[in-house]
Amino acid sequence: MPHSPEEKKKVLTRVRRIRGQTEALERALEQGTDCLPVLQQIAAIRGAVNGLMSEVIESHMREQFSSAAPSQAQRQARVAEMTALLRSYLK
C-alpha cells in the first residue's frame, strides 16, 4: 500500500477514475449500447486496473526490498510473498 501522501492521493485518484469507468459501463449495458463501445470500455477498465496494480506492486516492492531483511529466512519469505502475488496477478 502506498504510504506517502502523494502516492496515496495518486492511487485514490486512479480508483475513483476506475469507479467512474465502471459506472459508465453499467449505464451503457443498461441502455443496450452496441458491443464495440462496450468492449472498448471494458478494455479501458482493464488497462486502468492493470495500471493501478502496477503502481501498488511497485510501491510494495520498494517498501519490502529497500531495506535488507535481518535473516535469510525473512528474505526468502519476502520473495515468496512477492512471487505468489505476481502469479495471482498474472492469471
Q: Note the pLDDT of residue 1.
A: 64
Average per-residue pLDDT in the chain?
89
Cα(first)–Cα(last) distance of the chain, in Å?
A: 21
State the Cα–Cα distance between residues 37 and 72, nearest whole angstrom: 51
Q: Residues 3-42: pLDDT tens digits?
A: 788 888 989 999 999 999 999 999 999 999 999 999 999 9
Complete domains list, the chain, with CATH = 5-90 (1.20.58.1000)
Q: Note the pLDDT of residue 34.
A: 96
Phi-psi region of 69 (alpha: psi -120 to 50; beta: other; left: phi over 0): beta
